[in-house]
Amino acid sequence: MAAQILSGDDVARQMRREMKEEVARLQADSGVVPGLAVVLVGDNPASISYVTGKEKACAEVGIRSVPHKFDADLSEAALLALIGQLNADPAIHGILIQLPLPRQIDESRVLLAIDPSKDVDGFHPVNLGKMLIGQECFLPCTPHGVQQLLLRSGVPIEGRHVVVVGRSNIVGKPVANILFQKQPGANATVTICHTGTPDMGYFTRQADILIVAAGRPNTVTADMVREGAVVVDVGVNRVPDASRKSGFRLVGDVDYAGVSAKASAISPVPGGVGPMTITMLLYNTIRSAKAFHQAA
Ligand code: NAP
């Protein structure tokens, strides 16, 4: 039987429809319009394209995105000063710093400067610590998007064995943390693999749900997947493609053709986790605006 496609496009569309109504209600009830500051430093083409996508998505649901775009030689002090202003601005409910930052700027110092109550990317250590101990917080968008993609596609997580390939701070570690929490929609048994894992296939073949975030095409091939497993491909890799105007196409970390013949469900690239990531950023921004309004 053909694998079910875990369509992030479809789930994101449905969630954004719900969010648009929520934003309209918030504005009608309280006059509050959620505001997201979008900070871009430099002209990295991938970053520009991510920022454009985020701004478009904000407009779609009625969030006011406020761009702050700078040349690549911006000083760390200037960026920290801007963050101070945004932290104090009551019309801004979320601060997004598009990563990576140029070399002269210390990324961790910048992320630490964001008020955790406006950290809608969920990268501040306060939010990551709260996530770890299972407290209310902003969850990082990609891992939260993976969880929502599974749940809203009808894939139960509780009691399943989830194997995660990758242990980065933005995907692997947080997705593992979210899914093993003793909470509804989680409560899985989680194994994490990385470059120090000998014979990775031994572990991945035991997965009911396999989440791959390695950053390399073909990290997971059909022989590494159990018949009937659910596979979520977080990877986004540009590979040269002369037939495209852009000169490249996007592929994930999973050998899609081989693995989709064995999996019961699989997320495509593009159209899988990518749209979910942006959607969870919108979700966090709306939550923040509501919390600010309730506290006022
Ligand atoms: P990263 O920081 O480079 O981390 C990659 C992780 O994978 C590392 O922990 C690394 O292990 C592990 N790894 C790499 N090759 C491996 C292999 N052959 N076997 C086992 N483990 C391996 O990458 P990331 O930021 O987590 O991103 C991962 C992928 O997801 C990238 O393609 C990125 O573009 C994509 N991504 C997509 C979205 C989205 O919205 N769709 C968002 C974020 C990231 P070590 O720790 O041992 O080095």
pLDDT tens-digit readout, 157-186:
999 999 999 999 999 999 999 999 999 999
pLDDT of res. 54: 96
Question: Last residue of some domain: 117, 132, 165?
Answer: 117
25 within some domain: no
Residues 178 and 228 occupy one common structural domain: yes
Query: 8-30 vs 141-152: helix axis angle to the nearest 10?
Result: 110
268 within some domain: yes
Question: How far is it, in rounded angstroms, from Cα 141 to Cα 234?
Answer: 12
85 within some domain: yes
Residues 213 and 264 occupy one common structural domain: yes
H or E segment and range at residue 47? helix 45-61
Note the pLDDT tens digit of each residue in 183-219. 999 999 999 999 999 999 999 999 999 999 999 999 9
Known active-site residue 54: yes
54 within some domain: yes
23 within some domain: no
Note the pLDDT tens digit of each residue in 229-245. 999 999 999 999 999 99
Residues 106 and 184 occupy one common structural domain: no
Q: What's the total number of domains in the chain?
A: 2
Catalytic residue among 119, 121, 208, 253: 121
46 within some domain: yes
Residues 104 and 231 occupy one common structural domain: no
Query: Is residue 126 scored above 80 in pLDDT?
Result: yes
Note the pLDDT tens digit of each residue in 49-81. 999 999 999 999 999 999 999 999 999 999 999
Residues 151 and 242 occupy one common structural domain: yes
Q: Nearest 5°: CA angle at 130, between 167 and 11?
A: 65
- Mutation to probe ligand 1, out of 234, 276, 277, 278 (largest number of atoms < 8 A from CB): 234
Question: Last residue of some domain: 67, 102, 117?
Answer: 117
Which CATH number goes with the domain that contains 93? 3.40.50.10860
169 within some domain: yes
Residues 145 and 108 occupy one common structural domain: no
Answer whether 109's CB lies under 8 Å from 101's CB: no
235 within some domain: yes
Question: How far is it, in rounded angstroms, from Cα 45 to Cα 3?
Answer: 33
Known active-site residue 294: no
Q: Whose CA is nearest to atom 13 of ligand 1?
A: 214
Tell me, rounded to whole angstroms, the distance of Cα 61 from its chain centroid: 18
Residues 192 and 97 occupy one common structural domain: no
User: What pTM did the predictor assign?
Assistant: 0.97
Task: Give the distance (Å) from ligand 1 centre to CA of residue 196.
Answer: 13
Residues 113 and 147 occupy one common structural domain: no
Residues 151 and 271 occupy one common structural domain: yes
Known active-site residue 98: yes
Task: Give the distance (Å) from ligand 1 centre to CA of residue 166.
Answer: 5
Question: How far is it, in rounded angstroms, from Cα 149 to Cα 273?
Answer: 7
Which structure tokens are listed for 245?
């105007």
Q: Whose CA is nearest to atom 24 of ligand 1?
A: 168
Residues 151 and 206 occupy one common structural domain: yes
- Ligand 1, pocket residues at CB < 6 Å: 142, 165-168, 170-172, 193-197, 200, 213-216, 219, 234-237, 273-274, 277
Task: Give the distance (Å) from ligand 1 centre to CA of residue 172.
Answer: 7
Residues 180 and 101 occupy one common structural domain: no
DSSP state of 279: H
Which CATH number goes with the domain that contains 190? 3.40.50.720
Task: Give the distance (Å) from ligand 1 centre to CA of residue 273.
Answer: 14
DSSP line for 14-42: HHHHHHHHHHHHHHHHH----EEEEEEES
Answer whether 203's CB lies under 8 Å from 209's CB: no
Over residues 27-50, mean pLDDT: 96
Catalytic residue among 9, 10, 73, 98: 98
What 3-state DSSP class applies to 274? helix
The residue type at 39:
V
The dihedral of CA 76, 81, 82, 88: what is its sign?
Answer: positive
Query: Is residue 133 scored above 80 in pLDDT?
Result: yes
Task: Give the distance (Å) from ligand 1 centre to CA of residue 205.
Answer: 19
Half-sphere exposure of 158 (CA within 13 A, CB side): 5
Residues 72 and 172 occupy one common structural domain: no
Which structure tokens are listed for 221?
């091939």
Range of the structural domain that residue 68 is part of: 32-117
